Amino acid sequence: MTGLELSAPLEMSDGLIRRATEKGSVIVAHSVMSTQTNRVFHESKMIKAQFGDAVTLIGGGPHASARPGELLDAGFDHVVIGEGEKLITDLLWYLMNDKDPREIDGVVSEKRDSYPRPKGLPRVDLDGYPPFALDMNVLGPVEVTRGCPFACKFCCTPFLTGKGVRHRSADSVVKWLNRAAQQRGFRRTWFLSPNAFSYGGKGREMNLDRLENLLKGAASVDGLEEVFFGAFPSEVRPEFVTREALDLLRSYVANETLQIGLQSATDRVLDLANRHHTVEEGLDAIRMSFDCGFTPHVDMMFGLPGETKDELRASIEMCEELAEMGAMVHGHVFMPLPGSAFEAMPPGILDPESRSALGELSRKGVLTGSWSTQETMAAELVSGRE
Ligand code: SF4
């Protein structure tokens, strides 16, 4: 077995790969999201055309788990399905020791009639792995919770990470934040969670003691000046927003906003999407956030399957009302994500009137999000599927 030299370049170039091949065998690993397939598959085909077997291509991430065959078609040699922390290290060990990676459950290296699914594969213990690549200086939000017991039909999280909820312990979070602050000058931190207020509980209920333990620990890290929790890239489900939770948050966090997932202005559409909360619960959460000193940043999704024109219009009117109340809106257009229950549904489309109303809200600075490009991305996802 020879040594392994790691690098995490911001951009991949032919020159970089060529120079690496002059030193030895090269492995290029990609984490692929469904919205990135055009760019990644173009790149993987170019790498294979230019370097052939001198470069081994490994793919993982959400799209690899949902559609491994597409990655194999695009030139990837090995595809990691499900949670990658352990599998990627196993796979590297197999490759470096000339062993056959097809022996690893969750790694596929050739087209098959059917592929393993993430739910049949072992789940990792978050504390067993670092939350970011400190040595590579790749520092992102700290993932504190993985898995979600809810099954919103537009979301692929339950497919990818399961319905059981696992949390990174507060001790582990504090340990890594300390290292990031001391070794890399980390000054602020964000957290990643499917539902931030579910931290410490079993998924459907809160455990405010554990949440406080986490926030207190993070806020006490030497050198760390700001802690952001319950704000993008995490969000909270409306029925988890309570005065007690918000008061607790206010004592420790730097964020002025709270990211709340409402998604639609009608209970019928929320039911169709299996959200398990009502519009009124969403509005209660928004009002309570204002009362407790947070500006609500409300996620809304347009073009959900089954949504009528009137219901789309109602959602846009609600965005206008939220803006008048002083809230911000984070707009999305429905994308049939692979792995979600709605993956075979038609993509969300905005009619000209809706697009122009949303454009107006954007110009006023009260609507953010990738809603304008998601319509195109959603159409591309479907054309890939066909
Ligand atoms: S949208 Fe949020 S609550 Fe719903 S399934 Fe996905 S992660 Fe869970």
Q: Tokens representing 125?
A: 């213990």
| Structural domain includes residue 172 | no
Q: What's the pLDDT tens digit per position in 376-386?
A: 888 888 876 65
| Structural domain includes residue 201 | no
Q: Is the peptide bond before 352 cis (omega within 30 degrees of 0)?
A: no
Domain with 77 in it: 14-119
Looking up residue 295, the CATH number of its domain turns out to be: 3.30.750.200
| Structural domain includes residue 113 | yes
Confidence (pLDDT) at 385:
62
Last-in-domain residue among 71, 92, 119? 119
Q: Tokens representing 33?
A: 């999201």
Cα(70) to centroid of ligand 1, in Å? 25
Largest interatomic CA distance in the chain: 64
Confidence of residue 1 (pLDDT cuts 50, 70, 90): low
Looking up residue 75, the CATH number of its domain turns out to be: 3.40.50.280
| Structural domain includes residue 377 | yes
Query: Whole-prediction pTM value?
Result: 0.94
Kindly report the length of the chain.
386
Confidence (pLDDT) at 298:
98
What does 292-355 look like in DSSP terms, one character per residue?
TT-EEEEEEEES-TT--HHHHHHHHHHHHHHHHHT-EEEEEE----TTSTTTTSPPP---HHHH
Nearest residue to 289 via CA among 327, 318, 345:
327
| Structural domain includes residue 178 | no
Last-in-domain residue among 51, 85, 119? 119
Residue 200 class from Cβ within 10 Å (0-12 exposed, 13-18 middle, 19+ buried)?
buried
pLDDT at 327 over 90: yes
Q: What's the pLDDT tens digit per position in 349-374?
A: 999 999 999 999 999 999 998 888 99
Nearest residue to 332 via CA among 353, 308, 315:
315
Confidence (pLDDT) at 232:
87
Beta strand segments in the chain, E = 26-31, 55-60, 78-80, 107-108, 142-143, 145-146, 166-167, 188-192, 226-228, 257-263, 295-302, 328-333, 367-368
Confidence of residue 11 (pLDDT cuts 50, 70, 90): confident
Q: What's the pLDDT tens digit per position in 158-190?
A: 999 999 999 999 999 999 999 999 999 999 999
Pocket probe mutation, ligand 1, options 145, 148, 198, max atoms within 8 Å of Cβ:
148
**Cα separation, 1 vs 72, whole angstroms:** 27
Q: What's the pLDDT tens digit per position in 29-46?
A: 999 999 999 999 999 999
Which one-letter DSSP state was computed for residue 372?
H
Strands 107-108 and 188-192: unpaired
| Structural domain includes residue 19 | yes
pLDDT at 111 over 80: yes
Provide the 3-class DSSP secondary structure of residue 158: helix
Last-in-domain residue among 88, 119, 150? 119
Across the range 270-284, mean pLDDT stands at 98
Work out how many domains the chain is built from and give that number. 2
| Structural domain includes residue 39 | yes
Confidence (pLDDT) at 382:
84
**Sign of the C-alpha dihedral computed for residues 223, 227, 233 and 234 taken in this order:** positive
Residues with CB under 6 A from ligand 1: 148, 150-152, 155, 157-158, 194-195, 237
Return mean pLDDT, the chain. Answer: 95
Across the range 185-200, mean pLDDT stands at 96
Question: Which residue has the least CA distance to atom 7 on ligand 1?
Answer: 194
Pocket probe mutation, ligand 1, options 145, 153, 157, max atoms within 8 Å of Cβ:
157
Confidence (pLDDT) at 362:
95
| Structural domain includes residue 76 | yes
